[in-house]
Structure 1
Amino acid sequence: CWLSRLMFRAVSSRIIRCNSFENAKYEKEEKKIRFLQKGDVMKLMAMTMNDRESELARLMFVFSCFTGMAIADMETLQYRHIQTAADGQRYIRKERQKTKVEFIVPLHPVAEAIISHCRNEQARNEEQQTVKEKGDSLVFQPHCSRSVMGKNLSIVGKACGIRQRLSYHMARHTFGTMCLSAGIPIESIAKMMGHTSISSTQIYAQVTDNKISKDMDRLIAKQSANEKEIAERETCESSDIVTCKMEETA
């Protein structure tokens, strides 16, 4: 809590004698995550940037949306981390840079297409030795700092007409919410994202529950509007019948 830090500094600087809030308990703020809706992800997939670094920033963001990989893990992703199961399913097996926890995530066709694109681009620039022979080669090879990549990503977002400011952590959150919305068990999502505990993954369940609640509210509101329209129509029809009968009697 910022107040605790402030009081600690005040005591350390001898501005005050003691911290009156030392034993105070604070309510934990609800952690809000930022993620993209499916429509915005589709916009990013359809866009192609003319600038090489901006295009790479876009590809890495989309790749994260379909693998849940953090920027640090994408920067260190090598071709040897991409493996094939007995059933032919391709997947990524790697340790997270942040926690050193192993994660395993199956490759979505979109992610596979991005890897193939990167391999072909690198093969054009390396005539003597193909990328396939170099398992230690990096899949993504940005020639700029992470901060510049972030600026390029902002340019991509504006070009796609996305109002939210894009970040690679947002792409990771997008993967988590999309997986849960698709009905993938939370335990599997935790393994794919390399979470150390299920509690880290449960935040996506809260987001999905909130969305379901809002969608249900909209459905109820729409149903109420339809019922009101039907009731008004029936009232008008009844009124017309009464008017006709009165005219016949007259």
Structure 2
Amino acid sequence: LRIRSIEINSTTSYRQSGISQRNLQEFLLSRGIEDISFSDITEEFGESFKIFLKTIGGRKAGYINKCITWLNRLIYIAIDQEVLRSNPLEEVRYEKKEPPKHRHISKDELQRIMETPMYHPRLELVRRAFIFSSLTGLAYVDMHRLYPHHIGKTAEGRLYIRKQRVKTNVEAFIPLHPIAEQILSLYNTSDDSQPVFPLPVRDRTWYEVNQIGSIIGLKENLSYHQSRHSFGTLLLSAGISIESVAKMMGHANINTTQVYAQITEQKISEDMDKLMERRKTMKNNATQTEQP
């Protein structure tokens, strides 16, 4: 596993394997054994492992599913090597995951970020990059790999970005907002051997974004990916069609974009509830004023 992680230039899979293995060892110890042969693994074993992770470890669906996936991979390796004839965990169902909660910032919060220049050059770079992502929907990895050749101009002189998303390999087409154009003009738009934005590494960027959130007074932690979520939510709130938003965000499936539409509809519903509450309060106050 360690060699394989080096080959694919990723340690995430290796770390996850180590975590899953430790969980399995703890589960085996809870059953009074230190090891188990492949031939002794049953469907009941798989279901009990899930219950152990859920009740003893307090783990959520996504975490449990990763552990079960890891165990299934080991079993399929055993099948390939003719240690087993079939997978005894084939009928063990994965846990149902809750729909992801896309956190976004409000229009007012984005405005505060726009109106608050940072004192340190690196913080200011990250602030501008965050604003740019909020106006283009580009994730950090796509910003990190944004080069001058991804930028084009229409016959009318309008700048746009045409780029395949790293995550989905789906092309995104993004006409640039005037503010995004202003930010772009401050960075590399000619040397294709260098990215447009000289962003720091991912962890450092995340730290700087969190600092920016603290500086402008946000109560919750600010993450870089909220810029992308904010882009989708703000566009749909402005009445842009869901098909256009999907194309700009480079979504492989429009169902992904529907999540942003649901957030917008929920916000509209909440705003309407607040409006009705204010009307009710005003009506009650007016009634009390009229009483002798």
Q: In the TM superposition, what is the alpha-carbon distance from 1:135 to its structure 2 partner?
A: 3.8
The one-letter amino acid of 2:114's match is: M
TM-score for both structures, normalised by structure 1? 0.80
Q: Which has the higher contact order (CA 8 A, sep 6+)?
A: 1
Partner of 2:228: 172
Partner of 1:202: 258
Q: Give the 4+ runs in structure 1 shifted more than 6 A.
A: none
Unpaired runs of 5+ in structure 2?
Answer: 1-19, 29-33, 48-90
For the aligned residue pairs, the C-alpha RMSD in angstroms reads: 2.3
Whole-Å separation in 2 of the counterparts to 1:53 and 1:13 = 51
Residue 160 of structure 2 aligns to a residue whose secondary structure is strand
Residue 183 of structure 2 aligns to a residue whose secondary structure is helix
Distance 1:140 1:220, change over 3 A: same
Partner of 2:213: 157
Greater C-alpha radius of gyration: 1
CA contact (8 A) 1:80 1:136 kept: no
Residue 185 of structure 2 aligns to a residue whose secondary structure is helix
CA contact (8 A) 1:53 1:149 kept: no
Partner of 2:197: 140
Unpaired runs of 5+ in structure 1?
Answer: 120-130, 237-250
TM-score for both structures, normalised by structure 2? 0.69
In the alignment of these two chains, the number of paired residues is 218
Whole-Å separation in 1 of the counterparts to 2:168 and 2:102 = 20
Deviation string 1:5-62 (CA, Å, 9 cap, x unpaired) is 89x9458953985344354574441321110011110111111112221111111111
Identity percentage over the alignment?
39
Whole-Å separation in 2 of the counterparts to 1:19 and 1:46 = 58
Residue 104 of structure 1 aligns to a residue whose secondary structure is strand
Deviation string 1:73-107 (CA, Å, 9 cap, x unpaired) is 10111112110112222110011112211110010
* Structural mapping, 1:228-247, within 5 Å: 228-236=284-292
The one-letter amino acid of 2:177's match is: H
* Structural mapping, 1:1-250, within 5 Å: 9=24, 10=27, 13-14=35-36, 18-20=42-44, 21=47, 22-24=91-93, 26-119=95-188, 132=190, 134-142=191-199, 144-236=200-292
Whole-Å separation in 2 of the counterparts to 1:29 and 1:117 = 41
